[in-house]
């Protein structure tokens, strides 16, 4: 079993390294899974990831510059192509075979830059999480963000798998209304090939402040609210939440105009054992023609996630102070426990060949 405070890394997996628009024509450094990586975009627009350490004198390549042939070290000018091979040594015609740095498989799609941190021979692009809503700007205008959080990445996944925290820590945003509406939501949890899916229904409830501000539900209106979440190993959660006025038949058809509808991608990429990057994108599925509505939603979600961040960092410190102490599982942990099991299965599968050796 992976520990709560310091779940180990699964290496053979795609992680979000960055948002596409973070990578421009200057070197971009980020530590992922304890490895220092430098990303860059070449003149043709392709993104590459290399170890952030020159093979000559160990200078971080982030101090260099992007040139037509690749990334040039800032110290003595060795140039590396996107595959990590050295393609130029100033003042020397022959390039030795050892003149290379590690390169990581990278795929850029749907506004994500995905990186494969394990055995490159196992990198299978079909295993990348599909998030088509990022390509659908007309129906799902969106804006993304990223938070650096001082907690193990799996604590962030845990947080998204037990939403009974909402009425406690998100009172001013997506919480609000009756606390017990949230706690007593009808919860359906299903194991999937990639992890776990759940949907929560709160029928006939008072909409929370964020929903009222966004969709303009009138005074005294009650709604049927849903929270649809899918965890995909190791570090992605796809969310579709919303509400329709009572009587609209939300349970039969959620894709109706006139209510509140929001999609969020959540990605938790480990930086170290006790820090991670929280990538998220919030899509407005209710007032698509109003850029201000997308901006307001982004702000609300950004504020909401800051509330989570505060708790996650405090939780990490407490877990680290006493890592051996056991924790209590309750009814509301059902999806969270299943998510951890899916994660543990993936971890075990990766570690099994190593154990056999
Ligand atoms: S350290 Fe990179 S070229 Fe010398
Ligand atoms: Fe939260």
pLDDT tens column, 149-158: 999 999 999 9
Per-position DSSP letters for 185-227, written without gaps between them: -EEEEEE-SSEEEEEEEEEEEPPPHHHHHHH-PPTT--EEEEE
Atom 4 of ligand 1: nearest residue by CA position: 76
The tokens of 127 are what? 């295993």
In a domain, 133, yes or no: no
Residue 305: CB partners within 8 Å, gap ≥ 6?
145, 147, 278, 280
Model confidence band, residue 16 (pLDDT cutoffs 50, 70, 90): very high
Substitution candidate for ligand 1 out of 27, 53, 71, 76 with most atoms within 8 A of CB: 76
On the question of pLDDT at 232 being above 60, the answer is yes
On the question of pLDDT at 24 being above 80, the answer is yes
Are residues 175 and 96 part of one domain?
A: no
Q: Is the minimum distance from the CB of 73 to ligand 1 under 6 angstroms?
A: yes
**Residue 86 is part of a domain; what is its CATH number?**
2.102.10.10
Out of 90-94, 112-116, 229-233, 255-259, least confident range: 255-259
For residue 5, report the distance from its CA to the centre of ligand 1, in Å. 38
Q: For position 311, what pLDDT does the model report?
A: 98
Are residues 289 and 145 part of one domain?
A: yes
Overall average pLDDT of the 207-221 stretch: 87
Pairwise CA distance, residues 158 & 115, whole Å: 23
Are residues 210 and 76 part of one domain?
A: no
Model confidence band, residue 193 (pLDDT cutoffs 50, 70, 90): very high
Are residues 172 and 121 part of one domain?
A: no
Substitution candidate for ligand 1 out of 56, 65, 69 with most atoms within 8 A of CB: 56
Overall average pLDDT of the 257-265 stretch: 95
Half-sphere exposure of 64 (CA within 13 A, CB side): 26
The four Cα atoms 177, 200, 227, 246 give a dihedral, to 10 degrees, of -60
On the question of pLDDT at 1 being above 60, the answer is no
What is the pTM for the complete model shown? Answer: 0.95
Give percent above pLDDT 70 in the chain: 97
End of a domain among 86, 102, 127?
127
Q: Is the minimum distance from the CB of 92 to ligand 1 under 6 angstroms?
A: no
For residue 84, report the distance from its CA to the centre of ligand 1, in Å. 14
**How many angstroms separate the first and last alpha carbons of the chain?**
20
Model confidence band, residue 181 (pLDDT cutoffs 50, 70, 90): confident
In a domain, 155, yes or no: yes
Tally of domains within the chain: 2
For residue 83, report the distance from its CA to the centre of ligand 1, in Å. 17
The tokens of 177 are what? 């209304």
Half-sphere exposure of 156 (CA within 13 A, CB side): 31
Atom 1 of ligand 1: nearest residue by CA position: 57
Model confidence band, residue 178 (pLDDT cutoffs 50, 70, 90): low
In a domain, 250, yes or no: yes
Are residues 257 and 123 part of one domain?
A: no
Are residues 61 and 94 part of one domain?
A: yes
For residue 11, report the distance from its CA to the centre of ligand 1, in Å. 28
Are residues 339 and 210 part of one domain?
A: yes
In a domain, 132, yes or no: no
In a domain, 283, yes or no: yes
In a domain, 356, yes or no: no
Are residues 148 and 181 part of one domain?
A: yes
Are residues 319 and 243 part of one domain?
A: yes
Q: For position 211, what pLDDT does the model report?
A: 87
Half-sphere exposure of 12 (CA within 13 A, CB side): 16
Q: For position 208, what pLDDT does the model report?
A: 84
End of a domain among 104, 127, 150?
127
Are residues 270 and 200 part of one domain?
A: yes
Residue 41: CB partners within 8 Å, gap ≥ 6?
23, 24, 25, 47, 48, 66
Picking from 103, 355, 114, the residue whose alpha carbon sits closest to that of residue 235 is: 114
Overall average pLDDT of the 212-228 stretch: 92
End of a domain among 127, 158, 178?
127
Per-position DSSP letters for 45-86, written without gaps between them: S-EEEEESS-TTT---GGGSEEETTEEE-TTT--EE-TTSBE
Q: For position 190, what pLDDT does the model report?
A: 98
Q: For position 3, what pLDDT does the model report?
A: 63
Overall average pLDDT of the 271-291 stretch: 97
Overall average pLDDT of the 95-115 stretch: 98
In a domain, 271, yes or no: yes
Q: For position 182, what pLDDT does the model report?
A: 75
Domain residues for 315? Answer: 139-351
Query: Between 63 and 171, where is the model more confident?
Result: 63
Report CA 288 to chain centroid distance, whole Å: 24
Overall average pLDDT of the 319-323 stretch: 94
Q: For position 177, what pLDDT does the model report?
A: 61
On the question of pLDDT at 125 being above 90, the answer is yes
Are residues 153 and 116 part of one domain?
A: no
Ligand 1 nearest atom to the CA of residue 58, by list position: 1
pLDDT tens column, 127-146: 999 999 999 999 999 999 99
Are residues 202 and 113 part of one domain?
A: no
In a domain, 6, yes or no: no
Substitution candidate for ligand 1 out of 27, 50, 57 with most atoms within 8 A of CB: 57
The tokens of 119 are what? 């055995």
On the question of pLDDT at 180 being above 90, the answer is no
On the question of pLDDT at 189 being above 90, the answer is yes
Pairwise CA distance, residues 314 & 331, whole Å: 23
**Residue 311 is part of a domain; what is its CATH number?**
3.90.380.10
For residue 64, report the distance from its CA to the centre of ligand 1, in Å. 9
């Amino acid at each position: 079993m992976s520990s709560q405070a310091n779940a180990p890394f699964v290496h053979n997996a795609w992680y979000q390294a960055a948002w596409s628009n973070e990578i421009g024509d200057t070197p971009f450094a980020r530590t992922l899974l304890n490895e220092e990586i430098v990303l860059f975009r070449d003149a043709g627009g392709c993104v590459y990831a290399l170890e952030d350490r020159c093979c000559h004198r160990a200078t971080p390549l982030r101090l260099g510059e992007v040139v037509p042939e690749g990334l040039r070290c800032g110290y003595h000018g060795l140039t590396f192509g996107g595959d990590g091979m050295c393609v130029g040594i100033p003042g020397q015609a022959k390039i030795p075979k050892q003149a290379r740095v590690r390169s990581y498989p990278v795929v850029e799609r749907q506004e994500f830059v995905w990186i494969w941190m394990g055995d490159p021979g196992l990198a299978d692009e079909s295993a990348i999480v599909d998030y088509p809503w990022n390509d659908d700007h007309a129906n799902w205008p969106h804006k993304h963000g990223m938070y650096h959080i001082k907690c193990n990445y799996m604590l962030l996944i845990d947080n998204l798998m037990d939403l009974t925290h909402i009425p406690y820590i998100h009172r001013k945003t997506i919480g609000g209304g009756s606390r017990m509406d949230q706690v007593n939501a009808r919860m359906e949890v299903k194991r999937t090939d990639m992890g776990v899916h759940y949907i929560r229904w709160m029928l006939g409830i008072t909409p929370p402040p964020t929903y009222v501000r966004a969709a303009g539900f009138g005074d005294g209106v009650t709604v049927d609210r849903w929270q649809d979440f899918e965890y995909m190993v190791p570090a992605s959660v796809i969310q579709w939440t919303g509400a329709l006025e009572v009587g609209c038949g939300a349970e039969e058809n959620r894709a109706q105009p006139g209510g509140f509808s929001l999609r969020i991608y959540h990605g938790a990429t480990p930086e170290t054992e006790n820090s991670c990057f929280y990538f998220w994108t919030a899509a407005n599925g209710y007032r698509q023609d109003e850029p201000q509505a997308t901006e307001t939603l982004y702000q609300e979600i950004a504020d909401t996630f800051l509330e989570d961040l505060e708790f996650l960092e405090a939780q990490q410190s407490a877990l680290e102070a006493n890592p051996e102490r056991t924790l209590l599982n309750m009814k509301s942990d059902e999806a969270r426990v299943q998510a951890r099991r899916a994660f543990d299965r993936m971890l075990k599968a990766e570690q099994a060949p190593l154990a056999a050796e």
